[in-house]
Protein backbone atom coordinates (compact mmCIF):
# COMPACT_ATOMS: atom_id res chain seq x y z
CA UNK A 1 0.00 0.00 0.00
CA UNK A 2 2.76 2.44 0.92
CA UNK A 3 4.59 1.80 -2.35
CA UNK A 4 1.51 2.55 -4.42
CA UNK A 5 0.90 5.72 -2.44
CA UNK A 6 4.53 6.81 -2.81
CA UNK A 7 4.38 6.16 -6.57
CA UNK A 8 1.15 8.17 -6.85
CA UNK A 9 2.73 10.98 -4.81
CA UNK A 10 5.76 11.04 -7.13
CA UNK A 11 3.54 11.24 -10.22
CA UNK A 12 1.60 14.11 -8.64
CA UNK A 13 4.86 15.88 -7.80
CA UNK A 14 6.09 15.74 -11.39
CA UNK A 15 2.68 16.79 -12.72
CA UNK A 16 2.57 19.72 -10.32
CA UNK A 17 6.00 20.92 -11.39
CA UNK A 18 4.97 20.73 -15.04
CA UNK A 19 1.69 22.55 -14.46
CA UNK A 20 3.36 25.34 -12.52
CA UNK A 21 5.91 25.80 -15.30
CA UNK A 22 3.09 26.08 -17.85
CA UNK A 23 1.53 29.06 -16.05
CA UNK A 24 2.25 32.44 -17.54
CA UNK A 25 4.08 34.76 -15.23
CA UNK A 26 5.31 38.28 -15.81
CA UNK A 27 7.30 37.23 -18.88
CA UNK A 28 4.63 35.10 -20.53
CA UNK A 29 5.91 31.70 -19.45
CA UNK A 30 5.66 28.47 -21.38
CA UNK A 31 1.91 28.71 -21.77
CA UNK A 32 2.17 31.59 -24.22
CA UNK A 33 4.65 29.71 -26.37
CA UNK A 34 2.26 26.74 -26.52
CA UNK A 35 -0.65 28.84 -27.74
CA UNK A 36 -1.97 30.10 -24.42
CA UNK A 37 -2.48 33.61 -25.74
CA UNK A 38 -4.73 32.49 -28.58
CA UNK A 39 -8.49 32.34 -28.34
CA UNK A 40 -11.10 34.54 -26.76
CA UNK A 41 -10.37 36.40 -23.60
CA UNK A 42 -12.55 36.78 -20.57
CA UNK A 43 -11.53 39.36 -18.00
CA UNK A 44 -7.89 39.43 -19.13
CA UNK A 45 -7.26 35.68 -19.02
CA UNK A 46 -7.84 33.10 -21.70
CA UNK A 47 -9.98 30.02 -21.37
CA UNK A 48 -6.86 27.85 -21.57
CA UNK A 49 -5.28 29.66 -18.63
CA UNK A 50 -8.45 29.27 -16.55
CA UNK A 51 -8.57 25.54 -17.26
CA UNK A 52 -4.85 25.27 -16.47
CA UNK A 53 -5.46 27.01 -13.15
CA UNK A 54 -8.35 24.66 -12.32
CA UNK A 55 -6.26 21.62 -13.17
CA UNK A 56 -3.39 22.94 -11.05
CA UNK A 57 -5.69 23.43 -8.06
CA UNK A 58 -7.00 19.86 -8.42
CA UNK A 59 -3.47 18.45 -8.57
CA UNK A 60 -2.44 20.56 -5.55
CA UNK A 61 -5.39 19.19 -3.57
CA UNK A 62 -4.52 15.60 -4.52
CA UNK A 63 -0.86 16.26 -3.66
CA UNK A 64 -1.86 17.57 -0.22
CA UNK A 65 -4.08 14.55 0.44
CA UNK A 66 -1.36 12.14 -0.63
CA UNK A 67 1.14 13.97 1.60
CA UNK A 68 -1.13 13.57 4.63
CA UNK A 69 -1.75 9.92 3.79
CA UNK A 70 1.98 9.30 3.52
CA UNK A 71 2.44 10.82 6.98
CA UNK A 72 -0.19 8.54 8.53
CA UNK A 73 0.74 5.34 6.67
CA UNK A 74 4.49 5.91 6.50
36-73 pLDDT tens trace: 555 554 555 689 999 999 999 999 999 999 999 999 99
Quick check: is 26 in a domain?
A: no
Angle formed by the axes of helices 47-73 and 2-22, nearest 10°: 150
Q: Name which of 46, 27, 26 is nearest 37 in CA terms.
A: 46
Measure the CA–CA gap between 43 and 4, rounded to whole angstroms: 41
Quick check: is 11 in a domain?
A: yes
Q: Name which of 42, 38, 39, 20 is nearest 29 in CA terms.
A: 20
When pLDDT is cut at 50, 70 and 90, the band that residue 74 belongs to is confident
3-17 pLDDT tens trace: 999 999 999 999 999
Quick check: is 33 in a domain?
A: no
Instruction: Give the residue numbers spanning the domain of 65.
Output: 1-20+42-74
pTM: 0.74
Number of domains in the chain: 1
**First and final CA of the chain: distance in angstroms?**
10
Amino acid sequence: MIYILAFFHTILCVALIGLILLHSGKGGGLSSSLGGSMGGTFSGTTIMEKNLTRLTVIVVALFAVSSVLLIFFG
